[in-house]
Amino acid sequence: MTEERRQELAGLSQLLDRIGQAPRTDAERIRLGEMLQAVGQGSFGPLLLVPGVITLLPLVGDIPGVPTLMALLVLLVAGQLLVGRRTFWLPQWLLKRSVPHGKLDRALTWMHKPARVIDRGLKPRLTWLTQRAGTYLIAIFCFLIALAMPLMEVVPFSANGAGLALMMFGLSLMANDGLWALLALILTGGTVGAVIVALL
């Protein structure tokens, strides 16, 4: 992980803090654009972490339509990275979508303790999986996850598995930790396989 990226976002705990402290224009709901602005939209890792965490969080990830909304975000970001863009464009209609901030705040509080444990396990290793060609491999898998996520809304807990995989991919890129990317690749295969079996 470069020093610039380290300054932008140091780990999962800091991401949760930034989402929780994001300025809100609505008293009852928080927009996706407000969350992304708080964590930064300049690199691929945070833009995977946000939809991953939101989909994984209890109370929030289970709201109907949220996994599909997060899938659209991942499709746009991963697709743009695969065609060579280094800055990411997101449509206003997507950025204006929102979730109840009461549920979000409770879920963020619940997530803080495991986030601290996760952050302690991040370190640079297997870096070939998180640089250059490895980044494109991760983008391809994230694109495939996003394509499957709308179907996951009808298969209990599968969307949470997708959120976990996205979160792990995002953390692997931020921390240059290829082990997390490898585990996320395995989890992706297992989650997609479980969805296919459940729908047959």
> Tens digit of pLDDT for each residue in 156-165?
777 888 889 9
Q: What is the largest CA-CA distance in the chain?
A: 47
Six token digits for residue 43: 């690199």
Task: Supply the pLDDT for residue 9.
Answer: 66
* pLDDT tens column, 175-199: 899 999 999 999 888 887 777 777 7
Residue with tokens 């470069």: 2
Task: Supply the pLDDT for residue 2.
Answer: 36
Question: How much is the pTM?
Answer: 0.86
Please say whether the beta carbons of 104 and 35 come within 8 A: no
Tally of residues, the chain: 200
CA-based nearest residue to 166, from 192, 194, 185: 185
Torsion of CA 155, 110, 60, 160, to 10 degrees: -20
